[in-house]
């Protein structure tokens, strides 16, 4: 089965989620990573990056129209899918990926499975795994239609792996049509890390029962603000009213997969660990050297959070002060 991946990127390069999905698509047993569709301006560097994942073809636009909108991109993608008939088209579960595939699916009447956590091929049928009931149950879904199927894949679940020695055939196509430009893209405004959905956060500072009180928990907010991280916590933190339910990490809270999580005064109970086990780096601060959190941590400090955190915050502040350019 031919699998396509819609690649998302900007001037800084390819989005991590696109790298993950290119990796995952190449790993689907019985599937072939047939094409990557690069829908972005300044594609030159992106194409180089995409080639490292070895899709057979890379489709991109001859030039990027000033007024490219979700509608015109959906039209571009939809017509390409109609013409080439791949079995599956994947994108990252992002605002862009979800928006684009939703519009394409609606317009071209294609089956769409958003927010999947895995995709597999079982006896020529595609199986899409999604989490249901507050993420406590896995549901496996399949499409009753044989048309090309669209799906978005949740970010942070796949370890990126490039494949060497493969050549991609780059094809430039006419840019998205201007016919349906009802909406224009103006600018991208970065989300405020303090309010960003925890499951999308790159860096998280999380606090637990060891923070002791609402006043003690303020240190978590202070550190998070200083390093541009999102705030999370354990159920004890939530039960004490230091964080809302949307900030609780774990089995009955959010599943997170940040690059780094700093876990402060959290025991690391199974139900909590379940929600943060996919973090790439776990740094734990706990006064009990036998706390289970140290079993899953990459780095740890055995100490009192009320001593360690103020010192850490002070040192980061000093580091930032010293890093300021002369005269600023």
Binding site for ligand FAD (CB under 6 A): 208-210, 234-237, 248-253, 265-267, 269, 271-272, 275, 286-288, 291, 304-306
In whole angstroms, the minimum distance from the beta carbon of 211 to ligand FAD comes to: 8
**Which tokens in the block code for residue 175?**
């840019």
In whole angstroms, the minimum distance from the beta carbon of 256 to ligand FAD comes to: 11
Which CB, 15 or 235, lies closer to ligand FAD?
Answer: 235
Which CB, 179 or 289, lies closer to ligand FAD?
Answer: 289
Which CB, 143 or 267, lies closer to ligand FAD?
Answer: 267
In whole angstroms, the minimum distance from the beta carbon of 310 to ligand FAD comes to: 12
Which CB, 154 or 238, lies closer to ligand FAD?
Answer: 238
Instruction: Quote the CA–CA distance of 121 and 127 in Å, as a whole number.
Output: 6
Q: Work out the number of other CB atoms within 10 angstroms of the CB of residue 49.
A: 18
Which CB, 97 or 300, lies closer to ligand FAD?
Answer: 300
Which CB, 147 or 306, lies closer to ligand FAD?
Answer: 306
In whole angstroms, the minimum distance from the beta carbon of 206 to ligand FAD comes to: 9
DSSP lists the bridge partners of residue 264 as 207, 285
The gap from C-alpha 70 to its chain's centroid, in whole angstroms, comes to 20
Angle at the Cα of 202 from the Cα atoms of 118 and 7, rounded to 5 degrees: 50
In whole angstroms, the minimum distance from the beta carbon of 264 to ligand FAD comes to: 7
Q: Do 122 and 244 meet the contact criterion of CB atoms below 8 Å apart? A: no
Which CB, 203 or 269, lies closer to ligand FAD?
Answer: 269
In whole angstroms, the minimum distance from the beta carbon of 235 to ligand FAD comes to: 3
Instruction: Quote the CA–CA distance of 202 and 258 in Å, as a whole number.
Output: 4
In whole angstroms, the minimum distance from the beta carbon of 245 to ligand FAD comes to: 10
Distances (CA, A) of 28 to 9, 88, 132: 23, 11, 23
Question: Please, which residues have CB within 8 angstroms of residue 55's CB and are 6 or more apart in sequence?
Answer: 5, 22, 33, 34, 35, 36, 168
In whole angstroms, the minimum distance from the beta carbon of 156 to ligand FAD comes to: 18
DSSP lists the bridge partners of residue 282 as 261
DSSP 258: -
Q: Work out the number of other CB atoms within 10 angstroms of the CB of residue 51.
A: 17
Helix (H, G, I), strand (E, B) or coil at 172: strand
Instruction: Quote the CA–CA distance of 272 and 252 in Å, as a whole number.
Output: 9
**Which tokens in the block code for residue 216?**
């003690």
Which CB, 84 or 304, lies closer to ligand FAD?
Answer: 304
């Amino acid at each position: 089965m031919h699998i396509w991946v819609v690649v998302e990127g900007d001037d800084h390069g390819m989005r991590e989620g696109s790298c993950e999905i290119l990796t995952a698509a190449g790993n689907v047993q019985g599937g072939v990573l047939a094409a990557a569709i690069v829908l972005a301006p300044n594609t030159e560097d992106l194409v180089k990056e995409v080639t490292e994942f070895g899709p057979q073809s890379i489709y991109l636009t001859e030039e990027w129209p000033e007024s490219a909108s979700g509608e015109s991109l959906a039209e571009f993608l939809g017509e390409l899918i109609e013409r080439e008939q791949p079995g599956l088209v994947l994108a990252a579960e992002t605002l862009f990926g979800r928006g684009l595939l939703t519009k394409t699916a609606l317009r071209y009447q294609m089956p769409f499975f958003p927010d999947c956590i895995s995709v597999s091929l079982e006896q020529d049928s595609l199986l899409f795994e999604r989490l249901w009931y507050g993420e406590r149950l896995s549901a496996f879904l399949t499409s009753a239609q044989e048309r090309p199927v669209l799906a978005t894949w949740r970010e942070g679940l796949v370890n990126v792996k490039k494949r060497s020695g493969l050549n991609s055939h780059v094809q430039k196509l006419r840019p998205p049509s201007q016919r349906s430009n009802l909406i224009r893209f103006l600018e991208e405004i970065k989300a405020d890390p303090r309010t960003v959905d925890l499951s999308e956060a790159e860096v998280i500072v999380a606090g637990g029962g060891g923070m002791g009180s609402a006043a003690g928990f303020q240190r978590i907010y202070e550190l998070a603000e200083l390093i541009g991280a999102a705030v999370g916590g354990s159920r004890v933190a939530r039960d004490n009213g230091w964080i809302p339910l949307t900030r609780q990490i774990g089995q009955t809270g959010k599943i997170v997969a940040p690059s780094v999580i700093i876990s402060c005064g959290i025991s690391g109970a199974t139900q909590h660990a379940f929600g943060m086990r996919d973090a790439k780096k776990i740094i734990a601060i706990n006064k009990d050297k036998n706390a289970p959190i140290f079993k899953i941590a990459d780095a740890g400090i055995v100490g009192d959070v009320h001593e360690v955190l103020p010192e850490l915050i002070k040192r980061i502040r000093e580091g930032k002060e010293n890093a300021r350019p002369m005269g600023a």
